Amino acid sequence: MTATTLPQMFLNTVDEHGSKIALMTKIAGQYQGFTYREFGEKVKNFALGLASLGVKKGDRIALLSENRPEWAISDLAILSLGAINVPIYPSLIPKQIEYILNDSEAKVIITSISEQTSKIQEIINDLPVLKYIVYIDSPASFAKNMIPFADVSEKGQKFEQENLSFYANTVASIKADDPCGIIYTSGTTGNPKGVVLTHNNFLSNVKGGVATLRIGSDDIFLSFLPLCHVFERMAGHFCPLCVGATIAYAESIDTVAQNLGEVRPTIMTSVPRFFEKMYNRVLENAAAGGAAKKKIFNWALKTGDKYSKVQDKNKVGGFLKFKHNLATKLVFSKLQERVGGRLRFFVSGGAPLSKEIGEFFYSAGIKIIEGYGLTESSPVIAANLEEKIKFGTVGPALKAGGVEVKIAEDGEVLTRGPHVMKEYYKKPAETKEVIDDNGWLHTGDIGFLDEDGFLTITDRKKNIIVTSGGKNIAPAPIENTLLTSPLIEQILIIGDKRKFISALIVPNFEMIKNYAEENKIQYQNEEELVQNQKINQLISNEINRLSVDLARYEQIKAFRLLPKVFTIQEDELTPTLKIKRKFVEQKFADLIESMYQD
């Protein structure tokens, strides 16, 4: 049966790949998994257990959990009932969770560890619609209407004995245009909006992604980006489930490097920050190895770059092939082994990837396929192709998913197709602002299409800086260039309605502390360190080195070093690790003003 809904897609995969390992997680120090047949049984039992609690089609069920098998089981169980999954970032504080639960009118919430369950207990009296808390791990304390995850599955087994055809009939009753998710956008200002996505929204994008990236049942995914984010849910969850691939869950963001070696995935989705850190670590290791090692490293990169460019034209000469084999043996093989040794490609999304970083890894035989999209577009609008990557672009429109792209007169990227959301939940006016009468979604991004139809994103429309001299500056490309420096951890460029652009910079404290030690710079704490003149000169030299190709009006004329990294906890970052520009500018208003007064 051709699937028109996500539960039917999953059941088709269970029928076709029943004996294949579906999900893997680390237990007692070893990765262990279960088959698609077992997975299907777990989903059915949990779905029927939810049905026994009164969950029915159209009900909103919230999911507050880290990536783990129970997340996938819960998601598919919710969708199998025709209910709507409301995924919540585990990093959110109770007050933010309270808003989402009340706005979505969630009837049940599924929580993971004790810390997440405690957040709900803290706000339970302010959640009038919520009926049940289903917890996966035992919480620190208990209250009424709290049910263990395992007990819900047991209820499902009993429910099935009295309702034999209930599950099959319920799945069959779901329509392609029925809502399946309300995903609250991690907005940089105000309360988040709930993006309503249908089965067809997701499924069209999944089919397009699978066809474009040639994902198959032999692929193994390592999942570490939050599943509550639409990018990971589509690309790292639904896509592998569509074809019977295997998903292994990383233990945490801190263990990804180790888990890459253990799982040895063929595909992994990530965000540019991950690649920036990997890139800087590689450069640090090369520099620390002495002059000879650095020379070999730089030679290998140049060789890899030449080989990659010629290889695309199928004109590799014998001598270049020999040099590339030697470069692979001496340098590239070590990098490739660090990511497991059998990686087909990484997929990068969520923010712009630096062109330099993409080319760097490609030269080393590691492909990063950059894509682009929004929560409102389910999410993928465009993606580079495995056989043709244009670094600095996000690739052509995902035509296999029915995606159309055009550029408006003011440069805004517009998209239309089955991937465009149904609406913002309970916000018709806001919906009408972004989806016009012809069905085009206005993305809020500025970009252009080249002669091959590859899309380049310049920046968010609202982030464009217009200086007092009338110069238009897109901060993102400049920030991405400067983030290739191993000395710079985070950066925010400022300058709207001002004479010149400036920046708030969080340095890489490990690097500058090493520099301070080598140069006998005395300091008591990070506050003293970032005010040191020699440290500031070091960063200034780095900015100048990386700014040679920028126009004069794009060059940073002043900056301030910050003593602490931006964090989600301080409300300076969104859950997807994007800097909240307006909030940070307000928080450091006096410091910013001092740069322009000086």
Are 211 and 400 in contact, with CB atoms under 8 Å apart?
Answer: yes
Q: What type of residue sits at position 410? A: D
pLDDT in tens, 405-423: 999 999 999 999 999 999 9
Are 31 and 248 in contact, with CB atoms under 8 Å apart?
Answer: yes
Are 473 and 417 in contact, with CB atoms under 8 Å apart?
Answer: no
Q: Residue 145: left (phi > 0), alpha (psi -120 to 50), or beta? A: left
- The confidence score (pLDDT) of residue 380 equals 98
What the block records as the tokens of 411 is 């440069």
pLDDT in tens, 508-528: 999 999 999 999 999 999 999
Average pLDDT over the chain, rounded to an integer: 94
DSSP 8-state secondary structure symbol assigned to residue 452? T
* Count of beta carbons in the 10 Å neighbourhood of residue 18: 15
pLDDT above 90 for 204: yes
Band of residue 384 on the pLDDT scale cut at 50, 70, 90: very high
- The confidence score (pLDDT) of residue 275 equals 93
pLDDT in tens, 527-554: 999 999 999 999 999 999 999 999 999 9
3-state secondary structure of 406: strand
How far, CA to CA in Å, does 192 sit from each of 86, 103, 157, 443?
Answer: 13, 10, 38, 16
Length of the chain: 598
How far is it, in rounded angstroms, from Cα 229 to Cα 87? 8
The predicted model gives 350-358 an average pLDDT of: 90
Q: What domains appear along the chain, each with residue ranges and CATH number?
A: 6-174+214-268 (3.40.50.12780), 464-597 (3.30.300.30)
Are 378 and 415 in contact, with CB atoms under 8 Å apart?
Answer: no
Question: Considering only CA atoms, which of 333, 226, 313 is closest in space to residue 577?
Answer: 226
Band of residue 190 on the pLDDT scale cut at 50, 70, 90: low
Q: What type of residue sits at position 139? A: P
The predicted model gives 444-448 an average pLDDT of: 95
How far is it, in rounded angstroms, from Cα 561 to Cα 487? 11
pLDDT above 90 for 21: yes
DSSP 8-state secondary structure symbol assigned to residue 435? B
Percentage of the chain beyond pLDDT 70 is 98
- Of 155-159, 238-242, 350-354, minimum mean pLDDT range: 350-354
H helix intervals, 94-181 = 94-104, 114-123, 149-162, 166-173
Give the CB-side neighbour count of residue 295, counting CA atoms within 13 A: 3
- The confidence score (pLDDT) of residue 63 equals 98
Phi, then psi, of 2 in degrees rounded to 5: -70, 130
Are 419 and 435 in contact, with CB atoms under 8 Å apart?
Answer: no
Band of residue 428 on the pLDDT scale cut at 50, 70, 90: very high
pLDDT above 70 for 188: no
Pair type for strands 108-111 and 132-135: parallel
